[in-house]
Amino acid sequence: MSAENRDQVRIEQAAKRVRAVLAGEVVADTERPLLVWEVPYYPTYYFPRADVRTELFVPTGQTRRSPSRGEGKVSTLRVGDREAEGAVTEYPVSPVEALRDRVRLDWPAMDAWFEEDEEVFTHARDPHTRVDILPSSRHVRVEVNGVTVADSHRPTLLFETNLPTRFYLPKTDVRLDLLVAGDKVTHCPYKGQAEYWSVNTGETLVPDLAWSYRTPLPESTRIASRVAFPQEQADVYVDGELQRRE
């Protein structure tokens, strides 16, 4: 893969086949996607116009301006009686030549996204992000408001590029009597869908503090049903040393 930085837009040619689906119809299907970093944290797919169902576009007359990508023409995507309002952006006169014949589809406006034949959630995967999951014998203890809520010598450590190390603990080493199930769920393109618990220490309820992946994606099965507490909000001790709240 080759990457380039044009007027502060990072662009990389991807090799995966990428498809977007709306209302049961494949509305974009390409083997020539561009990865465009509109924000530093993860990329967005841009499709060649020839690989998108442009007959489904309904121009809105609106525009979106980007300091780096220029003036974007906005369209609604209509499939039968379903509309994804304002889900299409094109930059036909972009100062970045590589984007002029490309189409950006709003990720959450689509019903499903596929990289090859695997469904992908939340956003496009960053080819430079790595997730390593390793068993460990470190001693991990978690305190919330001075109460020990987990204590384990069998953690599984998850190392993800540019993120703090996460300590996933067996449920048998967690005070499950202090956890209160909630409705919150989040999605990760590398790990899958997480469910959350609040922690009740008797004095206060800390909402949505702990999470777990019941059925993670295949590459993250080592953390299945284990529980993590973020060191940004809980006191996490590793071999007796309090972790910095990053």
User: Same domain, yes or no, for 165 and 209?
Assistant: yes
User: Same domain, yes or no, for 141 and 219?
Assistant: yes
Give residue-wise pLDDT tens across range 131-178: 999 999 999 999 999 999 999 999 999 999 989 999 999 999 999 999
User: Same domain, yes or no, for 183 and 111?
Assistant: no
- Whether 161 is in a domain gets the answer yes
- Whether 12 is in a domain gets the answer yes
pLDDT at residue 244, rounded to an integer:
87
- Whether 190 is in a domain gets the answer yes
| Phi, then psi, of 224 in degrees rounded to 5 | -55, 125
Which of 72, 90, 120 is the endpoint of a domain?
120
Token digits of residue 65: 């301006």
Which residue range is the domain that position 51 belongs to? 3-120
User: Same domain, yes or no, for 59 and 149?
Assistant: no
- Whether 148 is in a domain gets the answer yes
User: Same domain, yes or no, for 234 and 145?
Assistant: yes
User: Same domain, yes or no, for 49 and 105?
Assistant: yes
CATH of the domain at 43: 2.170.150.40
pLDDT at residue 4, rounded to an integer:
45
Q: Which residues in the chain land under pLDDT 70?
A: 1-7
User: Same domain, yes or no, for 85 and 139?
Assistant: no
User: Same domain, yes or no, for 113 and 174?
Assistant: no
pLDDT at residue 245, rounded to an integer:
81
- Whether 225 is in a domain gets the answer yes
Which of 120, 151, 166 is the endpoint of a domain?
120
- Whether 235 is in a domain gets the answer yes
User: Same domain, yes or no, for 114 and 139?
Assistant: no
- Whether 56 is in a domain gets the answer yes
User: Same domain, yes or no, for 138 and 228?
Assistant: yes
pLDDT at residue 2, rounded to an integer:
44
- Whether 125 is in a domain gets the answer no
pLDDT at residue 8, rounded to an integer:
72
Total number of domains constituting the chain: 2
Q: Is 76 exposed, middle or buried (0-12, 13-18, 19+ CB in 10 A)?
A: middle
User: Same domain, yes or no, for 137 and 96?
Assistant: no
pLDDT at residue 109, rounded to an integer:
98
User: Same domain, yes or no, for 40 and 82?
Assistant: yes
Which of 87, 120, 153 is the endpoint of a domain?
120
